[in-house]
Each structure stands twice: as structure tokens, then as C-alpha cells.
Amino acid sequence: MSIVITRIDERLIHGQVAYSWSVAYQVTEYLVIDDEAANDPTQILLLSMAVPSGKKHAILSVENAVRYLAAQPESVKTFIVVKSPHVLLSLIEKGITLPSINVGGMYYKPGKQEISKTVYLDEEDRDVFRKIRGHGIACEIRTSPSDKSIDLFTKI
């Protein structure tokens, strides 16, 4: 498997993800990992429509994603998109190696505090990121590829 970028974005695939990030990282495949979306035909249809023409994609549950990634050839440049750090910690604990994590969109909800314009965390999110840091994985805050990278761990 060749994971070229892993992003947390509650909107999953949208214009910025579909074009800016995929061009910057030359991805050949989008992999949305979300148990809810993977079991909802409407979300699968909408997310599939957001993928640029000519790019592969899959929308999988966490369990299916682990098997899928383990079988990926190195020639596929995968862009993983998830809604929360909890999914990524689960992947890491199941043996998937993530080179780094980009945090782009975790939006306001009651009980969450702002750490950047597009990232809001509660204590549970902070704990998950600390566990991810324990695996030696860098986490950056960056909305678009041209933005300055901010080390998430300096904010929590």
C-alpha cells in the first residue's frame, strides 16, 4: 500500500479535497473510511459523484478498510479521508502505517473548543490525538496545500 496523504475532514470528499489535495499529492485513489457512510447508499452515491473523473475510489467501513489497504499494491497512491481521529487510531491499532495526518476540518459542536479556524476539539479528541502521537505519527493542521503547516500537538 502507498498512502500518500491521510486527512481528517468531516465533509469527507468535497471540492478542496477532490482537487487541491489530490493534485498536490498526485493521488490515484480516494479511500473514505466511515462506518456510517459505508452502509448508506445515498452517502455512497453522493461521495462517488464528488470524485474527479478518472480517479478510483472506495467507501469502506474500518474493518473492510484494513483488509483493503493490506492488499493494495504500491503503485496505487491512496488518499485516505475520515471524519474523526478515532477512525485513524483504530486503523493504527490494527496495523496500518500512516506516514502523517492532516487535520483540515473538525467543526464546532457543543463542548468543543477552537484550536484553529477549522479545527475544534473536545477532551476525548485530544486524548485520541495524544495516543496517535504515542505511535510516532505527526499531525498537522492545514486547510489547503498552500497553507502553512501547524503542528497540532503544539495546540493540545
- Whether 69 contacts 96, CB under 8 Å: yes
Looking only at the bridges linking them, the beta strands covering 138-141 and 150-151 are antiparallel
Q: Please say if 14 is a catalytic residue.
A: yes
Query: Catalytic pick from 14, 57, 86, 135?
Result: 14
Q: How far apart are CA 137 and CA 135, in angstroms?
A: 6
- Whether 59 contacts 43, CB under 8 Å: yes
Residues designated as active site: 14
